[in-house]
Structure 1
Amino acid sequence: MPTMTAAQKRAQARADYDAFLAGCPSRRLLARISDKWIALILAALGGDGPHPSGDDSAVKPRAMRYSELSRRLAGVSQKMLTQTLRSLERDGLVTRTVTPTVPVTVTYELTELGLSLHHMMRGIKEWAETHMNEVLANREEYDTRTA
């Protein structure tokens, strides 16, 4: 059996990824990116929602400070936000920039990889917001039928 270079091994692994297989690492990644906090952080950093300037006409990715993200994501605990941002940084989806000011300024921004995921997650978020009334009506109908 011929020896493979690291690049060849990575290419082979990519060809072998199949999320329907129990041991596939892409399955773990799917579980991680389907987390609500990850979806909402990607949406916030991607520029979704009200812009502080009041101009919502152009959705553009932007850097945000930790405190700004915390205010934007109603209900997220400090621990959960910190852990989620660290995991996004580890996966290469977000960059963390520390500016030596008094006090220190820390901002988070989507990477190119994070931006590519944001575009997909934005569609899912918009679908959920658009179709929530239908889903609620279907749930009510189902619950009435099965009660």
Structure 2
Amino acid sequence: MPSPGNPEVTAVDDLARRRGDLFDAQCPTRELLDRIGSKWVAMIITVLARTESPELRFAELERAMPGISHRMLSQELKRLAADGLVQRRVEDSVPPKVFYRLTPLGMSLHGPISVLREWAEAHIGAIDARRRGV
């Protein structure tokens, strides 16, 4: 049996204690929603999942996402790459060509995002009506 001082055991116990408590700032679900809950992340995941090519260049992603700034796309892609959801590949050329693709972990996020999008599309009319007081 692992000792209580083992950092791996402590981290697992800590995670189990925090699981499911959305009111705890360190809740894993809350932390993840903070990281992937933006409209831009949902769009990036969707665009990369739907593409027929194995990867897209930065400019292709930017064109596919009207309204996103160059800076915001760059920041979100860096965060997604750091989290292991997106893989970045740089081709040595002048100027350098940068390509992005979903990792298997990132692809596994596409399904839940699609379900949320379908729910939003099915219910936005009712929500808008309530906001208008109809």
**Match runs of 1:59-138 below 5 Å:** 62-138=54-130
Output the CA distance in 2 between the equivalents of 1:3 and 1:135.
50
**Cα contact 1:66–1:107 (8 A) shared by 2:** yes
**Cα contact 1:46–1:62 (8 A) shared by 2:** no
Instruction: Identify the residue that residue 33 of structure 1 maps to in structure 2.
Output: 36
**Cα contact 2:4–2:10 (8 A) shared by 1:** no
Instruction: Identify the residue that residue 25 of structure 2 maps to in structure 1.
Output: 23
Q: Scaled by the length of structure 1, what TM-score is found? A: 0.75
What is the CA RMSD across the aligned residues, in angstroms? 2.2
Q: Scaled by the length of structure 2, what TM-score is found? A: 0.82
**Cα contact 1:95–1:111 (8 A) shared by 2:** yes
Instruction: Identify the residue that residue 13 of structure 2 maps to in structure 1.
Output: 12
Q: 1:100 to 1:110 in 2, by over 3 A?
A: same
Q: Which runs of 4+ in 1 moved over 4 A?
A: none
Output the CA distance in 2 between the equivalents of 1:28 and 1:14.
12
Of the structure 1 ranges 37-46 and 126-135, higher mean CA displacement relative to structure 2 is found in 126-135
Instruction: Identify the residue that residue 43 of structure 1 maps to in structure 2.
Output: 46
SS at match of 1:96: strand
Instruction: Identify the residue that residue 54 of structure 1 maps to in structure 2.
Output: none
Of the structure 1 ranges 107-116 and 9-18, higher mean CA displacement relative to structure 2 is found in 9-18
* Structure 2 counterpart of 1:97, one-letter code: R
**Which 5+ residue runs of structure 1 have no aligned equivalent?**
52-59
Instruction: Identify the residue that residue 131 of structure 2 maps to in structure 1.
Output: 139
Q: CA deviation at 1:31?
A: 1.7
